[in-house]
Structure formats: C-alpha cells, structure tokens
Amino acid sequence: MNENLSLRDVDFKEGYIAIIDKPLEWTSTDVVRKIKYALQHRLGYKKIKIGHAGTLDPLATGVLIVCIGKATKMVNDLQAEEKEYIANIELGATTPSYDLEHPIDKYYPTDHITREMIEKALGELTGERLQAPPIYSAKKVEGVRAYEFARAGEEVELKKALINIYEIEILSLEMPHLTIRVRCSKGTYIRSLAHEIGLALDSGAHLTGLRRTRSGGFTVENGWKLENFMEKLIECETK
C-alpha cells in the first residue's frame, strides 16, 4: 500500500492514476465523486476531469483505477486490459441477481457434486465464448438499465457479449463453498460465471464475495485504501 507516499508534488490536472482498493458497499461512482469533491472544493481544481476504468459492483472490493486530469484519456485503454479476481461462490442455491444483493430464491441438491465435476465444469467455461450479463446489471436495453426492468418484474433479453476467460483455478473447496481465482477479459461478469458454474453442475450457485486483485499491470497490493488516499489528498491543501 501507499500509506507513506506523498501527493504534494502532484499536478492532478496534468494527469494522475490512483489505484484505489474499493470499499465494500461503495459504488465505483461513489469513489470517483468523493475524490472529485476533494479536488474541486479542497484543492481548487474547479474543472478537473475524473473517471474510472472498469466498474466494480457495490458488493465487490479491490482494484479500481481512477484516472484524474489528462489521465482520463487513458480510460478506454486501461479498461480493456486483463482482470484477475478472487471469487467466493456458494453452490446449491441461486439468487435473482446471482449475488447477495437479493436473497436466495431456490435451493438445489449438491450431494452429487465432486471436485472432479467442478474441475471439468471450470474447464468447459474457460476460453473465448459468449456470456449473458445478469438481468440485475447496468447494461442498457433501449436506453434503460436492465436492473430497472428486473425491479419492475419485466422480462428482457440481454445481448450476450464475447468474453475470454483465460484461467480458472480452484483455491479452496469445502462444500458448498467454492473459492476460485479467475483471469479474464474486459466485460466478463463473475456473477454470471458463478451462475454458469451452478448450471454446469446440474445444481445452482451464486456469488458470495468478489475481490478484484489485478487490472492490467495494477495490483491491489500497490493500491491505496480509500481513506488513506483521501488523507494524503487533503494534506495537499496545506502545501
């Protein structure tokens, strides 16, 4: 982490990339807004541009690339890079959102599931393929977010996206709890992957925890805790 680094000599308008370890239950936009407010109202960067390179769901933590000033020109390139995640999955149960945003809606048997079956399923889900986003997602359908249709109880068909899952490794398995490491392309929904694993095992599954550990060459070990970054940012006010 960067607790001992100083931001006093940074010209944020000229460009800066902050690697933030996004806190649980914060949206990616929440993080951007908090940093932007400090830059505008505490440090005097009234017209500063700021954005993030790759959304993380509120229930996920880990690497969030925040581009400031001229670095916002790099957002698309940074967003396109490979991602790595640690995902916690519960087998034998599903939720409408494929994660803990919604309560379990159905239970399934798991007695037939073996480690060999899981390894086979993960192998079949690896590689370049099409993947459907979760219905509770920010994908737009005719200009409306998919989750708005879902909340209204309306069924919509979401277009599948071409993704590439380069590697899936089992880190631990204590039925019905599975932890995996995933290396994948931009646009991969790990929530959808959890759902797909359940289907492949003739059971159900949902995501119970997600941490992005790497995005391109940026790792969570070299990132800022949000509170530490804000403290260092405010220190610049007295420079």
Delineate the domains of the chain, giving CATH numbers in brackets: 16-80+218-238 (3.30.2350.10), 83-215 (3.30.2350.10)
**Would you say the pTM of this structure is higher than 0.85?**
yes
What pLDDT, on the 0 to 100 scale, is given for residue 135? Answer: 83
E strands along the chain, which residues?
16-22, 50-52, 60-68, 83-91, 93-94, 106-107, 127-131, 140-141, 144-145, 161-174, 177-184, 205-215, 218-219, 224-225
pLDDT band at 2 (very low <50, low <70, confident <90, very high): low
Model pLDDT for residues 43-53, shown as the tens digit of each residue: 999 999 999 99
Percentage with pLDDT > 90 across the chain: 82
What pLDDT, on the 0 to 100 scale, is given for residue 149? Answer: 61
pLDDT band at 1 (very low <50, low <70, confident <90, very high): low
What pLDDT, on the 0 to 100 scale, is given for residue 136? Answer: 73
Instruction: Catalytic residue, from 57, 77, 111, 202: name it.
Output: 57
| Residue 99: active-site member | no
Q: Average model confidence (pLDDT) for the chain?
A: 92
Q: What size, in residues, is the chain?
A: 239
Burial class (CB in 10 A: 0-12, 13-18, 19+), 143: exposed
| 3-state secondary structure (DSSP) of residue 15 | coil
Is residue 31 scored above 70 in pLDDT? yes
Model pLDDT for residues 185-217, shown as the tens digit of each residue: 999 999 999 999 999 999 999 999 999 999 999
Q: How far is CA 51 from CA 56, 65, 66, 182, in A?
A: 13, 8, 6, 25
What pLDDT, on the 0 to 100 scale, is given for residue 142? Answer: 61
pLDDT band at 146 (very low <50, low <70, confident <90, very high): low
Over residues 175-190, the mean pLDDT reads 97
